[in-house]
């Protein structure tokens, strides 16, 4: 399914956006579908495209297709006005960077101090917009990116119920997988993954506590980077876990993800985790088609043997890694992780309560000022907020004490030390450059009654340690994409970006979704 050429948009807008319109035939071959940041910048540089035209084209595509996907929870009413200003800057020779004039979609748990709401998908926060931009949104605006809108998500970032359906929220309804519409987009950054895959924007931002960037990236056939905790500020992002939360890029290519990460990564005095971050202003410098040569990649034990068709994809992944010059070591174990046990859940419950209460305090005009207020709101509005599943995680978190409780401090030490040791020791003892696992299996059928039924995954080691993880499209099981994850030590994003880029360029398995209603059964 190909999008119409932007020729008619250019003809309609060239009089007001200072475009060169003398030869419109030059842009007949340009189409938005699968366009990268580099493609878009080239067309804008050559005067064949403007930011205003680009925003309008994406708005039209969203209007045409998102009623099927339901990935967008709200569009930015200021997007076109912002685009016109950026076009004027370009015409005057002022360029802010590689994202100048590029639309980006952000998850609806990230504050924007504009006309859009920030709700985590909940009706409880629909009273008014947030008072200010999140730090990462300020970074995007300063870089010339255009906030096109907010994406739907699993409500409260998928930490509300044990039977939640990924991509469902009280405010946004059920997001669907654009490859096969009755399949799950995975969560919680479901809308970001589905939207960028469906070509509703070139760039999207998700957030992850454990799997919420990499899983929706995998099931929607896109690239996702879960950065080291501390590389990207969490200021203005509705939290779950101080220890594990981070925002990260979700894009169709590794190059675009690297460009976006360079804008997002920065030190912020409001987030103490960023104060010792090892930053790079430009992560695209680490794109290397020969990065795999001489690398030692360890495959986590248990990666193979879960699904025969996924195993076939993985076998091709291994073959590609070896063809590109890497040495692949199988059955890498992480024994220290056995010592984590239930402490991870305990840790998240304590931090969830503390984090939500602190976030609510940052919005003093909100009728929701505590986790108890939120629980009460959901009960009072159960027909809209809890028609399918409950709020067990919220209720358990509300029972926790402060972050000075011995139980919390013990859980914190138990999780973080063992999680970090697991990766650090595996990399060191086997002389590895990175670890590898299947990001997730093929997407499951949406089931709002019984909830998600994940098949497999590898997000927890990197999530619980706070270390970086990058997923890249690896292949398909029929019409359903699956991704492969590479992860390594703290702040080793440059190495992982090189590995992921080399693999991506050698395979090029990404293909645009077809918006199939369901899979054939015969």
Q: How does DSSP classify residue 54?
A: H
**Average pLDDT for residues 339-354, to the nearest whole number?**
97
What's residue 94's pLDDT? 98
374 Cβ contact list (under 8 Å, min separation 6): 122, 124, 356, 360, 368, 394
At 49-73, the pLDDT tens digits run 999 999 999 999 999 999 999 999 9
Q: pLDDT tens across 283-300, in order?
A: 999 999 999 999 999 999
Could you confirm whether 107 is annotated as catalytic? yes
Residue 455: which pLDDT band, with cuts at 50, 70 and 90?
A: confident
Query: Active-site residue among 169, 212, 460, 465?
Result: 212
Residues 6+ apart with CB under 8 A from 166: 154, 158, 184, 185, 186, 187, 188, 190, 215, 216, 452
Q: What is the pTM for the complete model shown?
A: 0.94
What would the mean pLDDT of 107-115 be, rounded to a whole number? 98
The set of residues, in sequence order, having a beta carbon less than 8 Å from that of 387 and lying 6+ positions away, is: none
Of the listed 154, 166, 188, 190, which one is catalytic? Answer: 188
Active-site residue (options: 107, 150, 226, 295): 107
Summarize pLDDT for 219-270 with one digit per residue, the tens: 999 999 999 999 999 999 999 999 999 999 999 999 999 999 999 999 999 9
In this prediction, residue 28 carries a pLDDT of: 27
Q: Which domains does the chain show, CATH number per domain?
A: 7-339+414-507 (3.90.1300.10), 343-410 (no CATH)
Query: Do the beta carbons of residue 197 and residue 190 sit within 8 Å?
Result: no
As given in the structure block, the two tokens for residue 24 are 């419109």
CA atoms within 13 A on the CB side of 184: 30
DSSP classification of residue 273: G
């Amino acid at each position: 399914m190909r999008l119409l050429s932007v020729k008619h948009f250019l003809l309609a807008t060239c009089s007001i956006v200072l475009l060169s319109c003398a030869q419109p035939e030059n842009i007949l071959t340009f189409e938005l579908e699968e366009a990268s940041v580099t493609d878009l910048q080239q067309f804008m540089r050559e005067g064949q495209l403007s930011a205003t035209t680009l925003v309008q084209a994406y708005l039209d595509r969203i209007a045409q297709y998102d009623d099927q996907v339901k990935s967008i929870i709200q569009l930015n009413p200021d997007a076109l006005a912002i685009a016109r200003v950026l076009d004027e800057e370009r015409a005057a020779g002022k360029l802010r960077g590689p994202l100048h004039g590029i639309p980006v979609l952000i998850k609806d748990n990230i504050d924007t101090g504009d006309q859009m709401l920030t709700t985590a998908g909940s009706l409880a926060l629909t009273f008014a917009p947030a008072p200010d931009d999140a730090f990462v949104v300020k970074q995007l605006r300063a870089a010339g990116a255009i906030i096109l809108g907010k994406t739907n998500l699993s409500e409260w970032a998928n930490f509300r119920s044990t039977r939640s359906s990924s991509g469902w929220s009280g405010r946004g309804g059920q997001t669907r997988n654009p490859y096969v519409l009755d399949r799950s987009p995975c969560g919680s950054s479901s809308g970001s993954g589905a939207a960028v895959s469906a070509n509703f924007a070139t760039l999207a931002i998700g957030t992850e506590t454990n799997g919420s960037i990499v899983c929706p990236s995998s099931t929607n056939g896109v690239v996702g980077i879960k950065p080291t905790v501390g590389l990207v500020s969490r200021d203005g992002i509705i939290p779950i876990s101080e220890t594990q939360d981070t925002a990260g890029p979700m894009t169709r290519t590794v190059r675009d993800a690297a460009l976006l990460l360079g804008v997002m990564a920065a030190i912020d005095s409001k987030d103490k985790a960023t104060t010792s971050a090892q930053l790079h202003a430009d992560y695209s410098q680490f794109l290397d088609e020969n990065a795999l040569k001489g690398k030692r990649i360890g495959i986590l034990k248990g990666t193979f043997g879960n699904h025969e068709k996924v195993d076939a994809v993985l076998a091709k992944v291994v073959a590609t890694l070896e063809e590109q010059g890497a040495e692949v070591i199988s059955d890498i174990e992480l024994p220290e992780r056995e010592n984590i046990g239930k402490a991870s859940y305990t840790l998240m419950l304590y931090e969830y309560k503390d984090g939500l209460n602190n976030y609510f305090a940052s919005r003093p005009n909100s009728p929701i000022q505590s986790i108890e207020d939120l629980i009460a709101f959901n009960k009072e509005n159960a027909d809209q907020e809890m028609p399918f599943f409950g709020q067990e995680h919220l209720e358990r978190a509300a029972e926790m004490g402060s972050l000075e409780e011995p139980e919390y401090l013990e859980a914190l030490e138990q999780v973080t030390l063992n999680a970090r040791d697991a990766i650090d020791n595996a990399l060191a003892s086997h002389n590895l450059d990175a670890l590898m696992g299947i990001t997730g299996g093929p997407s499951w059928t949406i089931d709002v009654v019984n909830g998600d039924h994940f098949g497999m995954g590898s997000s927890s080691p990197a999530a619980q340690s706070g270390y970086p993880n990058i997923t890249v499209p690896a292949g398909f099981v029929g019409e359903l994409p699956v991704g492969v994850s590479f992860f390594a030590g703290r702040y080793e994003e440059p190495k992982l970006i090189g590995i992921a880029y080399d693999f991506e360029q050698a395979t090029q398995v990404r293909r645009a979704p077809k918006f199939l209603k369901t899979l054939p059964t015969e």
